Amino acid sequence: MQRNDIRRQLTWSGERVRGIFQDHDDAPGLCKLWRLQALVHWLQGQCAAAEAAWEQAAEQARKAGDDRARAEVLSWVASSTFIGPTPAREGIRRCEAIRDQVQGDRRAAAATLYPLAGLYAMTGRFDTARELLHLAHRTLEDLGYVTLSSSFTQFEGYVEILAGDLTRAEQRLAFGLERLEEMGEKAFVSSSAALLAEVLYQQGRQEDAARFVDRSKETAAPDDLAAQVTWRMVQAKILTTTGHLEDAETLACHAVALAAATDWSTYHAAACAALGEVLRECGRPEEAEGAIGEALRLYGAKENVVAVKEVQTLLARPVPM
């Protein structure tokens, strides 16, 4: 059975089970069912649908008096506001509200601070973002959630990329990746390795970047959208430096297609910018301008003012002859 067929079957079965739970006013059962539905949407890259399901799950957790489940669900909503199309200022407002609601659960509160930091970084408030990251990391470490704190170094890397501190971004990503690999954790290795490859590429270290692209490709699950989009973007840009322009364009177009099938605007914009960079190297400035223009539109809608400035700089570069 194909993955989409399985998801359709789960959706159909979920609707039947939901009716049974509703008939019996089973709030805990409905909470679990809505959480499962949210996960299905999340794996498909549909943030808006996942958020709606998580909101339903949170309400059922409230009715059931399960504060811990509600806090965990709301922390997922915070992550969705970072990755999805929610404008940064609205995302900050929502994450701050979630932070207030889950303050009694230190793990969920810390998990909320990471996407909140990323949103603040989009608006250029790097000191605030770093303070939140430091607090979140320290809290998770104190609580013993080492796997989670190691995987969340991706947020630290993202913030430092926006801040322009590539050395710090590399340090935090490499730290988290090394710990994950030592623990035998595989779920987060692929996306961490892909983001580290991007940081190394931006430093002009193509060989090192290629090594981590390979690591991401080796470990990425087929439906790991973050990794699948990012490693293709980075490898495409690396290939332009070695003159493999046709292969670079193919990879960059694939990255855009994967991201465009989602509402993960943060990844979609980055993929469009990468495609624009590749097309410029291919000597096709008009097509490059179209891809870069789409990146600007997406970043603008997200209110990622830092990324907008960076992409505008790319647009202003002389076209290679």
Judged against a pLDDT cut of 80, whether residue 41 lies above it is answered with yes
- State the pLDDT at residue 16: 62
Task: Report pLDDT digits (tens) over 227-270.
Answer: 999 999 999 999 999 999 999 999 999 999 999 999 999 999 99
Reported pTM: 0.91
**Nearest CA among 295, 297, 268, 301 for reference residue 280:** 295
| Percent over 70 (pLDDT), the chain | 91
**How many Cα neighbours within 13 Å face the side chain of 74?**
30
Judged against a pLDDT cut of 50, whether residue 12 lies above it is answered with no
- State the pLDDT at residue 315: 78
Task: Report pLDDT digits (tens) over 187-224.
Answer: 899 999 999 999 999 999 999 999 999 999 999 999 89
Domains of the chain with bracketed CATH: 45-140 (1.25.40), 145-220 (1.25.40), 222-316 (1.25.40.10)
